Chain A
Amino acid sequence: MNAQEFRSLILVKKPRYAKSRIPVMEAFANKGQSKSEYSQFGPLYELYIYAFRLGLKKGLKLPLPPRNLTQDFVEIGKWKRDSSLVDFLLMIIFSRSEEIGFDWNDLEDMEEKEINKVVSDIIDFIESYANGGLQYIQEEWENDNLMNSSYLFVDLMRQ
Chain B
Amino acid sequence: MASILNKISFKNFFNYYGDFNDNSYDLEEGVNIIVADNGAGKSKFFNAFLWLFYDQILDSDTKQKVNVKNAGVKILSDKAKNETPIGSRVDCGILIEYTYGTRYKYQIIKSFTATRISESITNESSWQFMINDIEVNRTELVLQRYKPVYDESEKRQIIDRLIMPAFRKYSFLQGEEVDDIIDFSKKESIEEAVENLTDIKRYEEIHELLAGFKKKAFNDLQNQMKANNADNERFDNAVKEKENIEHKLEHEQEKLQEWKDTFDAAEKEKIELDKEYANAEKRKEFDDKLKPLRKKLRDKKEEFENFLDRINNRFFDGNFAWIAFGFEDEVQKFRELNDRYIERRYEKKALKSVEENPNEYFHFLPENSPDSVSLQNMIDDEHCYVCNREAKEGTPEYQNLLKLKSRPKDKQTEQAFVKNDLKNFFGDIQINAQPFYTKFDNIEESIIKTKEKDEELKNSIEKLRKQIKSLEDDRSSILISGHDAELTAQEVISNYNGAVRRMENANGKISDIILPKISKFKKELKAVEEEIKNLNKTNDIPSGYNENYEVLNDLEEAAQNAKERVFDGMINLLEKHANIHFKNLIKNNDLSGGILKFEKNPNGSINFNYIDSNGNNVHGSSEGFQRMKKFSVVMAIISANNSEYNYPLLADAPISAFGEGFTEGFFDAIGNVFPQSIVLVKELYKREDDMKINELGKRLLKDDIVKTMYVNHVPENSEQIDLVTTQTKLK
By beta carbon, the residue of chain B nearest A30 is: B309
**Inside 8 A of B51's CB, which chain A residues have their CB?**
none
Contact status B434-A84, CB under 8 Å: yes
The answer on a CB contact under 8 Å between A46 and B334 is no
Verify A94–B426 contact, CB threshold 8 A.
Answer: yes
The B266-323 residues at the A interface (CB cut-off 8 A) are 308, 311-313, 315-316, 318, 321-323
A108–B342 CA distance with the chains assembled, in angstroms: 12
- Quick check: is A142 within 8 A (CB to CB) of the other chain? no
Distance of A87 Cα from B427 Cα, bound (Å): 11
Task: Find chain B residues with CB under 8 A from A153 CB.
Answer: 312, 315
Give chain A interface residues in 125-159, CB to chain B under 8 Å. Answer: 150-151, 153-154, 157-158
Which of B237-245, B248-256, B414-422, B619-627 participates in binding chain A? B414-422
Does B1 interact with chain A (Cβ within 8 Å)?
no
Mask: chain A, 107-122; 1 = CB below 8 Å from B; 0 = not: 1111100010000000
Q: A3-B424, A3-B425, A108-B420 are in contact. Are A158 and B435 (CB under 8 A)?
A: no
Q: Which residues of A contact B316 (CB under 8 A)?
A: 46, 49, 80, 83, 85
The answer on a CB contact under 8 Å between A88 and B436 is yes
Task: Name the B residues within 8 Å of A87 (CB-CB).
Answer: 428-429, 432-433, 436
Question: A residues within 8 A CB of B436?
Answer: 84-85, 87-88, 91
Give Cα distance in the complex from A84 to B434, angstroms.
8
Pick from B315, B422, B432, B437: contact of A6, CB under 8 Å: B422
Tell me the minimal C-beta distance from A116 to chain B in angstroms: 12
Given contacts A49-B316, A150-B311, contact A91 B429 (CB under 8 A): yes
- What 1/0 mask marks residues of chain B from 343 to 356 whose CB sits below 8 Å from any chain A CB? 01100100000000
Q: Give Cα distance in the complex from A2 to B422, angstroms.
A: 6
**Contact present for A95 and B330 (CB under 8 Å):** yes
Query: Are B322 and A94 touching (Cβ within 8 A)?
Result: no
Evaluate contact between A94 and B337: CB separation under 8 angstroms.
yes
Stretch touching chain B among A17-25, A34-42, A66-74:
A34-42
Contact check, A50 vs B420: say whether CB atoms are below 8 A apart: no
Q: Are A41 and B434 in contact (CB-based, < 8 A)?
A: no
- Cβ contact of A158, chosen from B325, B418, B423, B437, cutoff 8 A: B325
Q: Are A7 and B323 in contact (CB under 8 A)?
A: no
Whether A39 lies near B337 (C-beta < 8 A) is no
Asked if B385 CB lies within 8 Å of chain A CBs, one says no
In the complex, A33 has a CB within 8 A of chain B = no
Q: Are A3 and B423 in contact (CB under 8 A)?
A: yes
A104 to B339, CA, bound (A): 11
Q: Once the chains bind, are B311 and A108 in contact (CB under 8 Å)?
A: no
Asked whether B83 is an interface residue with its Cβ less than 8 Å from the other chain, the reply is no
Chain A residues with CB below 8 A from B344, complex form: 105
B396 contacts partner chain A, Cβ-Cβ < 8 Å: no
Interchain CB contact under 8 A, A84 and B420: no
Do B420 and A6 have beta carbons less than 8 Å apart? yes
Contact: A109 with B419, CB < 8 Å?
yes
| A13 nearest CB across to chain B (Å) | 16
Say whether chain A's binding surface is mostly helix, strand, loop, or mixed. helix
B433 proximity list for chain A (CB < 8 A): 84, 87-88, 90-91
Q: How far is the CA of A104 from the CA of B324 in the complex (A)?
A: 23
Q: Which chain A residues border B331 with CB–CB below 8 Å?
A: 91-92, 95
Query: Shortest CB–CB separation between residue B454 and chain A, in angstroms?
Result: 7
B308 CB → nearest A CB, Å: 5
A2 touches B333 (CB 8 A): no
Asked if B167 is at the interface of the complex by the 8 Å CB criterion, the answer is no
Which residue from chain A places its CB closest to the CB of B421 in the assembled complex? A2
Counting CB contacts under 8 A, is B327 at the interface?
yes
Please tell me if B430 contacts chain A, counting CB pairs below 8 Å.
yes
A7 to B88, CA, bound (A): 72
Q: Are A157 and B322 in contact (CB under 8 A)?
A: yes
Select from chain B the residue with minimum beta-carbon distance to A41: B312
Partner of B419, one of A1, A42, A96, A97: A1
Q: Which residue of B lies closest to A47 (CB)?
A: B312
The answer to whether A151 touches B330, judged by C-beta atoms less than 8 angstroms apart, is no
Closest to A109 in B: B419
Residues in A with CB closer than 8 Å to B424 are 2-4
Report the minimal beta-carbon distance from A53 to chain B, rounded to whole angstroms: 6
With a cutoff of 8 Å between Cβ atoms, the chain B residues found around residue A88 in the complex are: 321, 323-324, 433, 435-437
Whether B311 contacts A39 by the Cβ 8 Å rule is: yes
Given A2-B421, A40-B312: A94 touches B324 (CB 8 Å cut-off): no
* B285–chain A nearest beta-carbon distance, Å: 38
Q: Is A78 an interface residue (CB 8 A)?
A: no
Please name all residues of chain A whose beta carbon is closer than 8 Å to the beta carbon of B348 when the two chains form the complex: 105
Inter-chain CA distance A108–B330, complex, in Å, is 22
A105 touching B327 by the CB < 8 A rule? no
Whether the Cβ atoms of B429 and A94 lie closer than 8 Å is yes
Flag if B325 contacts A95 (CB, 8 Å).
no
- The answer to whether B447 has its CB under 8 Å from any CB of chain A is yes
Asked if B146 is at the interface (CB within 8 A of a chain A CB), the reply is no
**Which chain A residues border B729 with CB–CB below 8 Å?**
none
- A57–B325 CA distance with the chains assembled, in angstroms: 10
CB distance from A104 to the nearest CB of B (A): 4
The answer to whether A115 and B312 have CB atoms under 8 Å apart is no
Partner of B312, one of A7, A42, A53: A42
With A94-B334, A109-B420 known as contacts, the answer to whether A150 contacts B308 (CB < 8 A) is: yes
Please name all residues of chain A whose beta carbon is closer than 8 Å to the beta carbon of B434 when the two chains form the complex: 84
Q: B337 touching A95 by the CB < 8 A rule?
A: yes
Q: Does B341 interact with chain A (Cβ within 8 Å)?
A: yes
Residues in A neighbouring B432, C-beta threshold 8 A: 84, 87
CB <8 Å contact, B333 and A95: yes
**Given A39-B312, A94-B337, are A108 and B418 neighbors across the interface (CB < 8 Å)?**
yes
**Alpha-carbon distance A2/B426, docked complex (angstroms):** 12
Q: Report chain B residues within 8 Å CB of A109.
A: 418-420
Q: Contacts of A110 on B, CB cut-off 8 Å?
A: 419-420
Chain A residues whose C-beta falls within 8 Å of the C-beta of B420 in the assembled complex: 1-2, 6, 107-110, 115
Is B451 part of the binding interface, using a Cβ–Cβ cutoff of 8 Å?
yes
> What's the minimum C-beta distance from A48 to chain B, rounded to whole angstroms?
11
- Cβ contact within 8 Å between A3 and B428: yes
* Chain B residues within an 8 Å CB radius of A108: 345, 418-422
B542 interfacial by beta-carbon distance below 8 Å? no
Q: Which residues of A contact B322 (CB under 8 A)?
A: 154, 157
Contact of B345 among A6, A40, A105, A157 (CB under 8 A): A105
Given contacts A83-B316, A88-B435, A104-B422, 19 further A-B contacts (CB under 8 A): A2-B422, A3-B423, A7-B425, A39-B311, A49-B323, A50-B315, A50-B323, A84-B433, A84-B435, A91-B437, A92-B327, A92-B330, A94-B334, A95-B334, A104-B338, A115-B420, A150-B454, A153-B312, A157-B322
Cβ contacts A to B, 23 pairs, < 8 Å: A1-B420, A2-B420, A2-B421, A3-B424, A4-B425, A6-B422, A42-B313, A46-B315, A49-B315, A50-B323, A83-B318, A84-B436, A88-B321, A88-B435, A90-B433, A92-B327, A92-B330, A95-B333, A97-B337, A104-B422, A107-B420, A108-B422, A154-B322
Q: Can you list the 8 inter-chain pairs with the closest CB atoms, starting with the nearest?
A: A3-B425, A87-B432, A88-B436, A108-B418, A3-B424, A87-B433, A95-B334, A95-B333
Which A residues are closer than 8 A to B by beta carbons?
1-4, 6-7, 39-42, 46, 49-50, 53, 57, 80, 83-85, 87-88, 90-92, 94-97, 104-105, 107-111, 115, 150-151, 153-154, 157-158
